């Protein structure tokens, strides 16, 4: 796998320009969807105030929070790739 994407330089691998393009393409695909500030509706209600729930995603953590009292119902870390090829309901 050395040659076009990575090169073995002495005792370590270095990413060549095409390799950087590959990494950039993968990252732009994964991060294509703007997630910051977006909310996904979550069925159910807040156990404290019966308010509506929504999922937000920031800094690798998905949080289900109440829109009424902002109580966090659930927090779960996952990679942004978890949004790839999944609709909102599947993410939730
Ligand atoms: Zn609430």
Give me ligand 1 centre to Cα 50, in Å: 6
**Dist. CA 33 → ligand 1 center (Å):** 28
Look-up: residue for tokens 């790739």?
81
Please tell me the predicted confidence (pLDDT) of residue 37.
57
What's the gap in Å between 76 CA and the centre of ligand 1?
A: 18
Each residue's pLDDT tens digit, 17-55: 887 777 766 665 554 444 555 789 999 999 999 999 999
Residue range(s) defining the domain that contains residue 2? 1-30
Do 45 and 72 have their domain in common? yes
Predicted confidence at residue 32, as pLDDT, reads 43
What per-residue confidence (pLDDT) applies to 21? 76
Flag whether 35 is in a domain: no
Global pTM?
0.58
Q: What is the pLDDT of residue 6?
A: 83
DSSP-assigned letters across all residues of 14-52? EE-HHHHHHHHHHHHHHT-S--TT--EEEEEE-TTT--E
Q: How far is the CA of 66 from the centre of ligand 1 (A)?
A: 5
Does residue 70 belong to any structural domain of this protein? Answer: yes
- pLDDT, tens digit (0-9, with 9 covering 90-100), for 62-80: 889 999 998 888 898 888 8
């Amino acid at each position: 796998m050395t040659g076009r994407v990575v090169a073995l330089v002495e005792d370590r691998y270095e990413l060549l320009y095409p390799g950087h393009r590959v990494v950039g393409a993968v990252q732009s695909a994964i991060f294509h969807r703007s997630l910051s500030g977006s909310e996904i509706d979550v069925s159910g209600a807040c156990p404290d105030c019966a308010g509506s729930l929504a999922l937000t995603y920031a800094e690798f953590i998905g949080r289900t929070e109440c829109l009424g009292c902002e109580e966090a119902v659930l927090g779960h870390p996952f990679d942004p790739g978890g949004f790839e090829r999944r609709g909102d309901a599947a993410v939730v």
